[in-house]
């Protein structure tokens, strides 16, 4: 049974893919195919340089857009960085923060994640906080401890009013881009753990908290994962680059909510 306090959310993470032409084609295809969708909240997190195109093509659609990263600083001499206020100016509704690729490849620590969350929230952008364990951590049996640590850093740093704005994405690192997904049961177990930990810190918020699953979500596995009671939708990488796959995943979310 799905909790009526939460609407399903499906977010595409385009990563560093595409051209202006391919991004435009994808946005147009999504806009057309999802015209009738009102049941599922849908967004795409595009490369920075494609965000003006998102604004141009999605403004009157129901599809929202967002970025994949944001600076930990508000403004100033930070060559190459993009401020949250700049993303807000481009109409970004969401920003991914703490994606495992950022943590692993670009050295993002929990402390940096917290600063980025603060920046996004100050600009009125909804952060999608990504957490997840590596394969080695899962095999050692430390999945829950790793996620608890990633969440604790945030839960202890931000006030309740800000925590209430967050979306969480559980993305097991071993499932990202590998074609291996967590089983529906594995996903449910971690999502329930996330919600319990949230409830311990912020009792009034846990039932409304949106927790997405990410890691090789495809049209053919989405429905069973989304059917789990604590899975509120998906963060979709590879399959988000294909309009028909992505729309099928949105449909899977709608079906999971109708059952
Ligand atoms: P994937 O990526 O769907 O290609 O595994 C998910 C993500 O990294 O957000």
Low-confidence ranges of the chain (pLDDT < 70): none
Please work out whether the CB of residue 245 comes within 6 Å of at least one atom of ligand 1.
no
Residue 140's pLDDT is 97
Residue 4's pLDDT is 87
Tell me, yes or no, whether 2 lies in a domain: no
Tell me, yes or no, whether 242 lies in a domain: no
What number of other Cβ atoms are within 10 A of residue 148's Cβ? 18
99 catalytic? Reply is yes
Would you give the DSSP letter of residue 245? H
Selection from 245, 235, 240 nearest residue 96 by Cα: 235
Tell me, yes or no, whether 179 lies in a domain: yes
Q: What letters, b where the CB count within 10 A reaches 16 and e where it falls short, cover 178-188?
A: eeebbebebbb
Tell me, yes or no, whether 139 lies in a domain: yes
Residue 259's pLDDT is 82
Query: What range does the domain containing 81 cover?
Result: 9-236+252-258
Residue to probe by mutation, ligand 1, list 16, 69, 129, 176, most atoms within 8 Å of CB: 176
Residue 221's pLDDT is 96
Q: What is the pLDDT of residues 148-192, one digit of tens each?
A: 999 999 999 999 999 999 999 999 999 999 988 999 999 999 999
Tell me, yes or no, whether 65 lies in a domain: yes
Name the domain count of the chain.
1
The CATH number assigned to the domain holding 104 equals 3.20.20.70
Per residue, the 3-state secondary structure of 131-149, as one string, reads ECCCHHHHHCCCHHHHHHH
Please work out whether the CB of residue 171 comes within 6 Å of at least one atom of ligand 1.
yes
Tell me, yes or no, whether 243 lies in a domain: no
Residue 2's pLDDT is 86
What number of other Cβ atoms are within 10 A of residue 203's Cβ? 9
Tell me, yes or no, whether 120 lies in a domain: yes
Tell me, yes or no, whether 57 lies in a domain: yes
193 catalytic? Reply is no
Q: Where are the beta strands (DSSP E) in 98-198?
A: 126-131, 167-170
Specify which residues 235 forms β-bridges with: 11, 214
DSSP β-ladder status, 233-236 and 64-67? unpaired
């Amino acid at each position: 049974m799905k909790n009526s306090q939460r609407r399903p959310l499906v977010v595409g993470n385009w990563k560093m893919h595409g051209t202006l032409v391919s991004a435009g084609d994808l946005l147009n295809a999504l806009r057309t195919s999802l015209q009738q969708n009102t049941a599922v909240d849908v967004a795409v997190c595009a490369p920075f340089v494609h965000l003006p195109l998102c604004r141009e093509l999605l403004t009157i659609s129901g599809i929202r857009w967002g970025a994949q990263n944001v600076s930990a600083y508000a403004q100033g001499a930070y060559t190459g960085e993009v401020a949250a206020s700049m993303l807000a100016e481009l109409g970004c509704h969401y920003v991914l923060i703490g994606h495992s690729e950022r943590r692993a490849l670009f050295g993002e620590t929990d402390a940096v994640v917290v600063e980025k969350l603060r920046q996004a929230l100050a600009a009125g952008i909804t952060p999608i906080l990504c957490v997840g364990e590596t394969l080695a951590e899962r095999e050692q049996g430390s999945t829950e401890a790793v996620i608890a640590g990633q969440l604790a850093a945030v839960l202890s740093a931000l006030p309740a009013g800000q925590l209430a704005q967050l979306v969480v994405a559980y993305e097991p690192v071993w499932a990202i881009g590998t074609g291996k997904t967590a089983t529906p049961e594995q996903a449910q177990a971690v999502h329930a753990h996330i919600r319990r930990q949230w409830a311990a810190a912020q009792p009034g918020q846990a039932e409304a908290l949106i927790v997405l699953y990410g890691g090789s979500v495809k049209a053919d596995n989405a429905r069973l994962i989304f059917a789990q009671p604590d899975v509120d939708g998906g963060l979709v990488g590879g399959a988000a680059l294909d309009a028909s796959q992505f729309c099928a995943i949105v449909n899977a979310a709608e079906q999971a909510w109708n059952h």
